[in-house]
């Protein structure tokens, strides 16, 4: 696994659903870049034991963390505590939404 | 603890040493923004059990991860595996270096 990545170069979306590009993973955590085309979403869901953060790299979207729904743009970071329902949506009509995503611990490797 | 932060608004450095601005923390992880003025550094050091990532928000610097020394700019992300010596330096003569930093698990709360 490479230790260095350029997030600027990770821009590819997918036609059928949001794209998840893995950066790093260990039992302690994973880091991904998600690319959501306009109209795509990660449906609200819950992890029992893992904390997650979404950091907006580019584009705009709507991020849910528990009872909060955040209109997020570049530089916004949202923490989704373990056990809190969370998700993200890129509304129709804008540009791609690129997110740096951290989760700890890793839900499958820990 | 707020669940939403705007990293664009976190720019304050400190005269005496690098500034660490805490965003979120749980036993699973912490997220900080570091601001290093030109000439400041976080000396190379090692954590036995925690993984760390440095993601450059703005500025340029030199990030060490084990045997690798990376000339990093906005969008670069560097993974520092548990047990690997790591650090970061903002050379003299440039602008402030702002980093989004993740560590998992939390070295004091876990």
pLDDT tens digits for range A38-68: 999 999 999 899 999 999 999 999 999 999 9
Q: SS3 of A50, please?
A: coil
Mean pLDDT for A6-21 is: 98
**Distance (Å) from the C-alpha of residue A92 to the closest C-alpha of chain B?**
23
Could you tell me if B35 and B98 are in contact, meaning their C-beta atoms sit under 8 angstroms apart? yes
> Which of A51, A52, A69, A98 should one mutate to test binding to chain B, selecting the residue with the greatest count of B CBs within 10 A?
A51
Give B-chain residues touching A50 at CB under 8 angstroms: 28
DSSP-derived letter for residue B62 is: E
**Bond into B105 cis (ω within 30):** yes
Residue A83 has which token pair?
């056990």
Considering only CB atoms, A79 lies closest to which of B3, B74, B100, namely B3
Could you tell me if A4 and B77 are in contact, meaning their C-beta atoms sit under 8 angstroms apart? yes
Query: A66 in contact with B at a CB cutoff of 8 Å?
Result: yes
- Taking residue A19's Cβ as centre, other Cβ atoms within 10 Å add up to 20
In chain A, the domains with their CATH numbers are 18-104 (2.60.120.10)
| pTM of structure | 0.97
pLDDT tens digits for range A28-46: 999 999 999 999 999 999 9
Residue B52 has which token pair?
């760390």
Tell which phi-psi region holds residue A3, choosing left (phi > 0), alpha (psi between -120 and 50) or beta: alpha
pLDDT tens digits for range B45-75: 998 999 999 999 999 999 999 999 999 999 9
Which residues partner with B63 through β-bridges? B70, B88
Quick check: B75 and A6 CB within 8 A?
yes
């Amino acid at each position: 696994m490479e230790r260095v990545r350029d997030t600027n170069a990770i821009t590819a979306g997918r036609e059928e659903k949001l794209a998840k590009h893995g950066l790093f993973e260990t039992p302690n955590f994973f880091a991904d870049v998600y690319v959501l085309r306009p109209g795509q979403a990660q449906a609200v869901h819950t992890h029992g034991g893992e904390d997650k953060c979404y950091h907006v790299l580019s584009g705009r979207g709507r991020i849910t963390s528990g009872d909060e729904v955040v209109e997020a743009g570049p530089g916004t970071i949202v923490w989704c505590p373990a056990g809190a329902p969370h998700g993200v949506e890129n509304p129709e009509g804008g540009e791609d939404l690129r997110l740096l995503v951290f989760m700890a611990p890793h839900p499958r490797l820990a």
